[in-house]
């Protein structure tokens, strides 16, 4: 079945850039999402990208997609302490449910 892999932890210093990586196995994945989850909260949609795009930028967030390698990354520029959270990568082929990775816990050191 489909699988989405993420590294579990990432630690960065405040002001640096964070890069969270994700790989997926389903070649029919058409829509790829990044969600943020803060403690005790639900999932906040950060951004998404369609498989016919290579890059998407939204303020401090940059998403890069390498469809050949099935690799997705989320770059957060000028990382702040408020960015500390768990980040989930998810994929869908459009009419299928979201398949999530296990999440990457981002810790920002002041």
According to the binding rule CB under 8 A, does residue 103 interact with another protein? yes
Q: How many CB atoms lie within 10 A of CB 91?
A: 25
Nearer to another protein, 84 or 88 (CB): 88
39 near another protein, rule: CB under 8 A = no
d(CA 108, CA 110): 6
5 vs 14, which CB is nearer to another protein? 5
Binding status of residue 59 toward another protein by CB under 8 A: no
Among 34, 88, 104, 108, binds another protein (CB under 8 A): 88
* Largest CA-CA distance found in the chain, in angstroms, rounded: 42
**Residue 12 or 23 having the CB closest to another protein:** 23
């Amino acid at each position: 079945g489909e699988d989405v892999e993420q590294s579990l932890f990432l630690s960065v210093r405040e002001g640096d850039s964070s890069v969270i990586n994700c790989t997926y196995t389903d070649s029919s994945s058409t829509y790829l999402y990044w969600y943020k989850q803060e403690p005790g909260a639900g999932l906040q949609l950060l951004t998404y990208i369609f498989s016919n795009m290579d890059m998407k930028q939204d303020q401090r967030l940059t998403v890069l997609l390498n469809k050949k390698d099935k690799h997705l990354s989320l770059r957060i520029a000028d990382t702040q302490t408020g960015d500390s959270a768990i980040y989930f990568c998810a994929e869908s082929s459009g009419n299928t449910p979201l398949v999530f990775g296990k999440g990457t816990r981002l810790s920002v050191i002041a």
